[in-house]
Chains A and B, each alone.
Chain A
Amino acid sequence: MPFDLGITRNELKEAKERLAQGPPRYPSPTDFFLHHTNLVDSLVRKAFWKARSEVPSPSVCLLAVGSYGRRELAPYSDIDLLLLAPSQGGELAPLIEKILYPLWDLGLEVNCSSRSVSECLSLARSDLHVKTGLIDMRYLDGEYGLFDALFQLFGRSLLYQHVPDFAKALLEEIRERHRRYGDPQYVLEPHIKEIRGGLRDFQVGRWLVRAKHRTDRWEAVLFRDQVCEIEGAIQFLWTIRNEIHRLSGRRQDDLSFELQEKVAPLLGFEPGPRGIEEMMRRFHLSASRISNFTERALERILSEPPLGKRMFSSWRRRKIDSSFAWSRGQIDLADPSTFKKDPTRVMELFRRSQLLRAKIAPRTEDALIESLPWIDERFQSASVVNQTFLSILNHGEGVDDILNRMHKLGLLSRLIPEFGAIEGRVHYDLYHVHPVDVHSLLTVEELVKLRTGAYEKEFPLLSSLAKEVEPFGLLILCGLIHDIGKGEEGDHSLRGGDQAEKIAERMGLSEEEKRLLVFLVRRHLLMIETAFRRDLHDEGTIHRFAKEVEGSLRLKMLYLLSFADIRAVGPEAWTSWKDSLLMELFLRTVHFLEKGDVEGFFSTEERVLADLSEILSPQVFSQYREELPSRYLGCYPAAEIAHHIEMAARIEEEVLVVEWEKLDSRRARVTLCTRDRYGLFARIAGSMFLNRLNILGAQIHTWDNGIALDTFEVEDKTEEPERRIEGFKRDLEAVLSGRTTIKRVLMERKETPGLQPKVMPKVEAEVKINNHDSDFYTIVEVSGEDRLGILYEITQALTEHGCDIHFARVSTFGNRIVDVFYVQDEWGEKLEGKEKLDHLQRSLLSRLTGAAEEG
């Protein structure tokens, strides 16, 4: 082997492995970087010598750039080299080849560019990436003079010049990158380098310090507390990255679920979802620290006026009051020691900023950060602080920005210490995209958008409600703390209610406001659960809900909060289906609360029959009036029922009559008429599943003459409901006429071996059976991991237990499904008897976990 560097590919791999693993395990990621960089340095130098001795070449200089230049090589990082040549045009390709081949053959990812000093400089002027790569240049070997020339010139004529332009270019790059890596998938499985607050952001912060202060020591420009925090944050990210490189055996910067599960125990977190959540919490906290560091470094540079104006503006400060002054359109401190003398002035600062619609000057924010240690219990319970805070909330406008700012500066968790416990906290699942603190602030943002009219066109009803509810500040506070119970174990709503009570007392809310706040926090899921899991056509549902809500102010606030809460979960969470269900529940309940009855919304049986007698011919009317059950008559207007009767007439010739109307681009309402038979619902569910139609809800009716008349709300995420429903009809016809069975079709689909399924967070299976939420039905709620044909299996199990399904609601949250069924037994009664219920529960559970799959 001509290119032998005295080590084989496997030996190198083992050497890396040893470095990464110990024993003793390397104490810190920086330790690993150092040893690893030394190892690579020696190999690169060897390759360089060998190449030089074999290929005649002019005197050149070899540099390390990028992360290799910084000596921050993770186990499988790219190794970027730069070969400096004295002048342009030299034929360096053979030399580079000789350097690269042996390194490549060792499995190293090496890139090498070759340029002259002047080429480097001109390229760095036009290309941000080249410029930032050069910031970290490091001499490796060869002609030192060349390195020195580049180093000096680069600093003097490039890096230290036009720093604000450099900051602007970086800001643009950051924005673009965050946009690309901001989607939910990247929050759940973060890209450790590119996301907000990732390794690249830290880099940007350091480069800025380097350009502005001409020092390598980024920590030199920060307070000691901040330095410790950021130091800890970056070490944590580095540790994780080193681990995932090592575990994957390649460059891998996506912290996928699979890697989260593997890394958490390695870093000493407890095994299982709790440990992963803890690790990811630290991850998010670290990322937000880093992101703050970089953002503030950027702001500081960008908010500085051009040099010429600096002198002029210094005496243009205008006093606002004894503490604050205007400075270049931003709010500054008149006396720098204001906060240390009187920390309560901090809140006044934000009040001013809100009223004057002005930003706070970066150095004032520094003063705030510096004074955080003085902010303690006395601050939290000082009435002047709380009064000011509440008036900020009540003012509404810009309150979301203000709260975000307070959060970033670390003030929010000082004011509401309970908030600190939910910072960075995540759920290990697919549904909750954001950490709880971020989710809470997004909830506030949604409420403000409603209040300020940003949603007027899209959500007119909610927008008008948001404008009329008072005190609005209380609703904002509620948005902010509604999930505050998630800081600890147990039912978060109940715990949150207790904490809300304490917060209300500390803030000096009136007794009435306190009760309202506690109710809203404790029951913030009430409306969501009722709307999505209960039959809104059932009078009893509305009665029960209205009784709990009590008054229309509470109802309005709860409606607004439910909206904001769902919208803040992630872009996929809010759907037009949820919109219509919540609105329906709101309208029915507000009508009931204000008029005292449900008349008008629930048409009586007599009324519908009277209408029907006018639409239908006397002969048809008399034929059907005895056949139509009263629940059915309460569900549809007369005109629709008349149409159903026409459909029913057609099943003399056809097995199945299906009609449908499109509700929006994804959703459709399917009406289906056939002869009732054993297990009909399961077969419908199966056929829907086969055609990728998601069932959202179902109304199932059986007429006394044995006709089944069902309506389904379905969804096709690919926006081709026409094609899917046609397919569904074909499949169901085949099944009903006995040409095939669902089971057989399902088996056929399962046959493709496919790829290893992606590792996803596990979902607990749960079955709740209750006999008290409806007057006539037993309500079965199942929740578990979504998988192929699950709804078919569950409904099949219900059928096998003799349950007649009358109503169903199906929701999906990431990979978790929640299905609710209103069922009766063969005799049209609720299911009774502990043994029977237990048995049903057990067999549903085993279907959910897939235990009965083989049987």
Chain B
Amino acid sequence: MKKIEAIVKPFKLDEVKNALSQIGVQGMTVAEVRGFGRQKGHTELYRGAEYKIDFIPKVKLEVIVTDEMVQQVVETIERAAKTGKIGDGKIFVYSVEEAIRIRTGERGRDAI
């Protein structure tokens, strides 16, 4: 099992979500986040000190999938979230030790 975490432009969320459900991803967690990468905010000077302001709003989505699906999911997010411009976001892949569905107590791939 893997967790795929993607940070994408907010207006791309719907497209990514639809593309993922097209390939049979059954659930995801979404959070509104703020941050910056190479698409930096700008710096402001205040009393002689530099302050970086303007964290840029993004959406972070998390999907847990079986190992066989990782590559297709990553590819799908990549394709759907891409505008080709700076600030398109990033995708991270983590290993997941265990998953448990609380209502039934199912574990492992049955729980995702």
A756–B104 touching, CB < 8 Å: no
Tell which of A28-36, A250-258, A578-586, A798-806 binds the partner.
A250-258
Q: Tell me if A76 is interfacial: C-beta within 8 Å of chain B.
A: yes
CB distance from A551 to the nearest CB of B (A): 44
Q: From known contacts A9-B110, A105-B104, A185-B79, infer whether A251 and B72 are also in contact, taking CB-CB under 8 Å.
A: no
Q: Which listed residue, B24, B79, B93, B110, touches A252 by the CB 8 Å rule? A: B24
Closest B residue to A755 by beta carbon equals B71
Q: Tell me if A248 is interfacial: C-beta within 8 Å of chain B.
A: yes
Q: Which listed residue, B69, B75, B84, B110, touches A758 by the CB 8 Å rule? A: B75
Give the A-B contact count at a CB cut-off of 8 A: 29
Q: Tell me if B68 is interfacial: C-beta within 8 Å of chain A.
A: yes
CA A253 to CA B79, docked complex, whole Å: 17
CB distance from A634 to the nearest CB of B (A): 40
Closest B residue to A719 by beta carbon equals B84
Q: Which listed residue, A109, A254, A718, touches B23 by the CB 8 Å rule? A: A254
Q: Tell me if B74 is interfacial: C-beta within 8 Å of chain A.
A: yes
A755–B110 touching, CB < 8 Å: no
Chain A residues within 8 Å of B69, by CB: 250
A251–B24 touching, CB < 8 Å: yes
Chain B residues within 8 Å of A756, by CB: 70-71
Interface SS majority for chain A: loop
Closest B residue to A191 by beta carbon equals B22
Closest B residue to A76 by beta carbon equals B24
Closest A residue to B68 by beta carbon equals A248
Closest B residue to A758 by beta carbon equals B71
CB distance from B55 to the nearest CB of A (A): 23
Chain B residues within 8 Å of A107, by CB: 110
CA A107 to CA B74, docked complex, whole Å: 24
Chain A window 180-221, contacts with chain B (Cβ cutoff 8 Å), 1 for yes, 0 for no: 000001000001000000000000000000000000000000
Closest A residue to B101 by beta carbon equals A105
A residues 67-122 in Cβ contact with B at 8 Å:
76, 105, 107, 109
Chain B residues within 8 Å of A248, by CB: 68
Chain A window 225-269, contacts with chain B (Cβ cutoff 8 Å), 1 for yes, 0 for no: 000000000000000000000001011111010000000000000
CB distance from A758 to the nearest CB of B (A): 6
B24–A755 touching, CB < 8 Å: no
B110–A250 touching, CB < 8 Å: no
CA A294 to CA B71, docked complex, whole Å: 34
A residues 747-770 in Cβ contact with B at 8 Å:
755-756, 758
CA A250 to CA B26, docked complex, whole Å: 11
B74–A755 touching, CB < 8 Å: yes
CA A191 to CA B18, docked complex, whole Å: 14
CA A253 to CA B72, docked complex, whole Å: 12
Chain A residues within 8 Å of B93, by CB: 755
CA A107 to CA B93, docked complex, whole Å: 25
CA A107 to CA B112, docked complex, whole Å: 10
CA A251 to CA B70, docked complex, whole Å: 15
A residues 48-84 in Cβ contact with B at 8 Å:
76
Q: Which listed residue, A9, A191, A254, touches B72 by the CB 8 Å rule? A: A254
Q: Which listed residue, B24, B72, B106, touches A256 by the CB 8 Å rule? A: B72
CA A248 to CA B67, docked complex, whole Å: 12
Chain A to chain B: the 3 pairs with minimum beta-carbon distance, closest first: A251-B24, A250-B24, A755-B71
| Beyond A718-B84, A719-B84, A758-B75, 20 extra complex contacts between A and B, CB < 8 Å | A9-B110, A105-B104, A105-B106, A109-B26, A185-B79, A191-B22, A248-B68, A250-B69, A251-B24, A252-B23, A252-B24, A253-B22, A254-B23, A254-B72, A755-B70, A755-B71, A755-B74, A755-B93, A756-B70, A758-B71
- The residues of A with any CB-CB pair to B shorter than 8 Å are 9, 76, 105, 107, 109, 185, 191, 248, 250-254, 256, 718-719, 755-756, 758
* Sample (14) of A-B pairs whose CB atoms are under 8 Å apart: A9-B110, A105-B106, A107-B110, A191-B22, A248-B68, A250-B24, A250-B69, A251-B24, A252-B24, A253-B22, A719-B84, A755-B70, A755-B71, A758-B71
